[in-house]
């Protein structure tokens, strides 16, 4: 799953889809101008992918609420998770995330990289405003409401960041944080993820996080964490998606190509590379030339195909987009 450079289907985006045949695209502010433009972009991406590969794309976005929501008005804006935590109103979260999911699906986005299930212990945590709170049971209760809402709205929710960044002080965008505390703290971090897995969450994102008691490798690159803990201990059978492999938590220590191979071997299904075309190309080349990963590739492909079959692509109705967001703009 890759980022593309701009708001329309340019030559670089065409290369990624037609030649490299990527399986997904993630959208950022650089890709977004208006609801109709987003719908036209996702339509063009899907049509190109269908012609090139016979398969549709996962098209994702980070629409968490608060400080992390790529789509601006007239799209619905959500409060920060921290504010939701203060209100502690799961039905309200479920209603709003259902509306948000319907808007995403209306413009052709079928996956939302949310909710955040990290249990932020204090304001020093980089996830403080993005976390529902410091109590695992509350994070689980509110996170599950968001998962239900996004699914009801027609998009795939992605719970993140496994196994939990809430007891760290270093931002994984910059370098690799090391989790604090002992096994009791790990259980606090895992609680919401256990509940989400039991509730059938279809996808989970890994964290670029060191858990010394489990491994000396960050979670995204660790078979002990992704396969033994997430799949074995928690029983998760859905998609494992890496956080962006170009983040400092990975790329300060490994090349994107090296990280892509190691993440796949560890158990990841979707490799997220958000920025540099040369990094995407290098990772693609490394995977194409790799040996010994065939069974892992087949396993991941089967999971991806099963998920896509449960959420089939349907052509967009641009008139419906115009009508809905025109009314939303007038109401605002």
Q: What is the pLDDT of residues 143-179, one digit of tens each?
A: 999 999 999 999 999 999 999 999 999 999 999 999 9
**Is there a domain that residue 118 lies in?**
yes
Report whether pLDDT(90) > 60: yes
To the nearest whole percent, how much of the chain has pLDDT over 90? 95
**Is there a domain that residue 142 lies in?**
yes
Please give the Cα distance from 72 to 235 (Å, whole number). Answer: 37
Mean pLDDT of all residues in 46-56: 96
Residue 219's pLDDT is 98
CATH of the domain at 270: 3.20.20.300
- CA dihedral over 35, 39, 45, 46, signed as positive or negative: positive
Tally of structural domains, the chain: 1
**Is there a domain that residue 113 lies in?**
yes
**Is there a domain that residue 264 lies in?**
yes
**Is there a domain that residue 21 lies in?**
no
pLDDT band at 50 (very low <50, low <70, confident <90, very high): very high
Q: Are 231 and 267 in contact (CB under 8 A)?
A: yes
Residue 312's pLDDT is 85
**Is there a domain that residue 43 lies in?**
no
Q: Would you tell me how many other CB atoms lie within 10 Å of the CB of residue 85?
A: 19
Residue 171's pLDDT is 93
Q: Where are the alpha helices (DSSP H) in 120-210?
A: 136-152, 183-198
Determine which helix (DSSP H) or strand (DSSP E) holds 27, and give its type and residue range: strand 24-27
Report whether pLDDT(68) > 80: yes
Name the nearest CA neighbour of 122 among 82, 88, 161: 82
Using alpha carbons, list the distances in angstroms from residue 41 to 47, 66, 304: 10, 25, 22
Using alpha carbons, list the distances in angstroms from residue 58 to 33, 186, 245, 327: 20, 31, 18, 28
Q: How many helices (H) and strands (E) does the chain have?
A: 12, 9
**Is there a domain that residue 314 lies in?**
yes
56 is catalytic: no
**Is there a domain that residue 34 lies in?**
no
Residue-wise pLDDT tens digits, 234-278: 999 999 999 999 999 999 999 999 999 999 999 999 999 999 999
Mean pLDDT of all residues in 77-81: 97
Write the DSSP assignment of 194-234 as a string of letters.
HHHHHTT-SEEEE---B-TTT-SS-GGG-HIIIIIIIIIIS
Residue-wise pLDDT tens digits, 102-159: 999 999 999 999 999 999 999 999 999 999 999 999 999 999 999 999 999 999 999 9
pLDDT band at 332 (very low <50, low <70, confident <90, very high): very low
Residue-wise pLDDT tens digits, 174-222: 999 999 998 899 999 999 999 999 999 999 999 999 999 999 999 999 9
208 is catalytic: no
Domain residues for the domain of 135 are 76-331
Residue 330's pLDDT is 57
Total residue count of the chain as it appears in this document? 332
Residue 331's pLDDT is 56
First to last CA, the chain: 34
Helix (H, G, I), strand (E, B) or coil at 21: coil
Specify the pTM: 0.97
What's the gap between Cα 29 and its chain centre? 16
Residue 182's pLDDT is 87
Residue 233's pLDDT is 97
Specify the pairing of strand 24-27 against strand 239-241. Answer: unpaired
**Nearest-10 Cα torsion for 229, 235, 238, 242:** -10
**204 forms bridges with which residues in the sheet?**
159, 240
Report whether pLDDT(97) > 90: yes
Catalytic residue among 189, 215, 243, 269: 243
């Amino acid at each position: 799953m890759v980022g593309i450079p701009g708001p329309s289907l340019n030559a670089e985006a065409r290369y990624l889809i037609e030649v490299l045949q990527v399986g997904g695209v993630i959208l950022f502010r650089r890709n977004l101008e208006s609801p109709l433009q987003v719908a036209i972009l996702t339509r063009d991406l899907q049509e190109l992918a269908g012609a090139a590969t016979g398969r549709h794309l996962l098209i994702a976005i980070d629409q968490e609420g608060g400080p992390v929501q790529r789509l601006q008005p007239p799209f619905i804006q959500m409060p920060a998770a921290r504010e939701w935590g203060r209100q502690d109103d799961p039905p309200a979260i479920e209603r709003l995330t259902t509306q948000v999911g319907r808007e995403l699906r209306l413009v052709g986005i079928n996956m939302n990289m949310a909710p955040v299930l990290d249990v932020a212990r204090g304001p020093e945590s980089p996830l403080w405003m993005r976390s529902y709170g410091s109590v695992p049971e509350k994070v689980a209760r509110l996170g599950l409401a968001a998962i239900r809402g996004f699914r009801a709205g027609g998009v795939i929710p992605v719970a993140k960041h496994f196994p939990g960044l809430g007891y760290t002080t270093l931002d994984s965008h910059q370098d690799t944080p090391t989790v604090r505390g002992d096994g009791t703290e790990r259980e606090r971090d895992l609680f919401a993820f256990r509940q989400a897995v039991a509730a059938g969450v279809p996808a989970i994102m890994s964290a670029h996080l060191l858990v010394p008691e489990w491994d000396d490798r960050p979670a995204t690159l660790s078979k002990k964490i992704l396969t033994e803990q997430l799949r074995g201990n928690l029983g998760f059978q859905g998609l494992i998606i890496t956080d962006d492999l170009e983040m400092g938590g990975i790329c300060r220590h490994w090349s994107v190509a090296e990280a892509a191979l190691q993440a796949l071997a560890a158990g990841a299904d979707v490799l997220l590379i958000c920025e540099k075309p040369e990094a995407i190309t290098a990772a693609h080349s490394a995977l194409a030339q790799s040996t010994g990963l065939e069974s892992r590739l087949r396993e991941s492909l089967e999971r991806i195909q099963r998920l896509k079959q449960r959420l089939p692509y349907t052509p967009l109705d641009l008139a419906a987009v115009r009508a809905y967001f025109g009314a939303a703009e007038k109401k605002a």
